[in-house]
Structure 1
Amino acid sequence: MDETDLKILQAIASLGTHSPSKVQEETGIPESTIYYRLDKLREKGIIKNDLYDLDNEKLGLGITIIVEVVATYKEGYHHKIGEKLSEIEGVSQVHFTMGERDFVVIAHVPDRKGVERLISDFESVDEVQRTQSKYTITTIKNEPRVVNTYSIESLISTLSTNNELED
């Protein structure tokens, strides 16, 4: 990965499209180069898919719930319990964490009944000892494309430091 790849990825993230013509307009990189680089980034697994981002609120899933989960400790428990939590309808993220809580889970539900169902589903997982849930009142920032949260200089510096930047 090099600076050209990073510029392409950043353009895709900021434009919200992987259209080579739009990326070319944004970066000045020739479309043929963009096609080639995108194929290589897919082969390396850096680009996972070409999905469009959806507006959860307009889909009727506007309530975001953040749930902290304490679970029963056993060897390798985080994989087993994490999978169970992942299977609960509405759950979009499961993070195994350090500290007083074992997991942080993000879910999106349509209404209060959805919240009640979600909590009931968590309680039905045998290994879950307790949960602490928070309603999100207003989302200030929700950037699904992490590359948008960094400057190109920071990305280049990070990759250079980690010896992942090719000449």
Structure 2
Amino acid sequence: MDEKDIRILMAVASEGVRSPDKIHELTDIPKSTVHYRLSQLRENGILKNDLYDLDLEKAGLSLTLISEIYAEFAEGYHESVGEKLAEIEGVNQVYFTMGDTDFIVISHVPNREMVESLVEEYEAIDEIQRTSSKFVISTVKDEPNPINDFEYETLVESITDKSESDT
């Protein structure tokens, strides 16, 4: 990646644009270069898809549940338990973590009944010793595009390959 790639990614993240024409307008990078770079970013797996942001509350998924999962330690448990958690309907994100908590599971659900159902399904997994779940009362920050949380200069210094040409 180089500075042009970062400018393109920042336009996509901050403006939510998917159109090469709009990216060209925002970045002043030639359209042909934008097309080429977007293709390269997709081929390299940096851009995964062209999904649009969704308002979860308006979609009826207004409760956010954050669950800490404590599992029985065994060889490969992070993969097997993680996969079991990920397969549960309503689970959106599963993170294997360091520290006292083995997994953090995040779900966006429509009602308290589904919260109870999720916790029961977590606890039905044999390797899980206990859980601790919390409702989000209000969201202070929920940035769907983490690239928006960095200054351009920071990204250039941190993730560009200084040896790449400026194609």
**Residue 127 (structure 1) aligns with:** 127
Q: Give the whole-Å Cα distance in 1 for the aligned partners of 2:162 and 2:28.
A: 24
**Residue 4 (structure 2) aligns with:** 4
Cα drift, residue 146 of structure 1:
1.2
The alignment's TM-score, normalised by the length of structure 1, stands at 0.94
Task: Could you tell me which runs of 5 or more consecutive residues in structure 2 were left unpaired when the two chains were aligned.
Answer: none
The alignment's TM-score, normalised by the length of structure 2, stands at 0.94
Out of 141-150 and 3-12, give the one that drifted further.
141-150
- Three-state SS of the structure 2 residue aligned to 1:34 is helix
Task: Find runs of 4+ consecutive structure 1 residues off by over 6 angstroms.
Answer: none
**Residue 99 (structure 1) aligns with:** 99
| Alignment root-mean-square deviation, CA | 1.2
Task: Could you tell me which runs of 5 or more consecutive residues in structure 1 were left unpaired when the two chains were aligned.
Answer: none
When the two structures are aligned, how many residues end up with a matched partner? 165
Cα drift, residue 165 of structure 1:
6.0
**Residue 79 (structure 2) aligns with:** 79
Q: Give the whole-Å Cα distance in 2 for the aligned partners of 1:86 and 1:26.
A: 38
Q: Deviations over 1:7-34 (max 9, x none)?
A: 0000000111211111112111121111
Q: Deviations over 1:81-136 (max 9, x none)?
A: 00000011111111101111100111111011111111111111111110000100
- Whichever residue aligns with residue 82 of structure 2, its letter is G
Percent of aligned positions that are identical = 55
Q: Give the whole-Å Cα distance in 1 for the aligned partners of 2:96 and 2:109.
A: 21
Cα drift, residue 164 of structure 1:
6.5
**Residue 25 (structure 1) aligns with:** 25
**Residue 56 (structure 1) aligns with:** 56
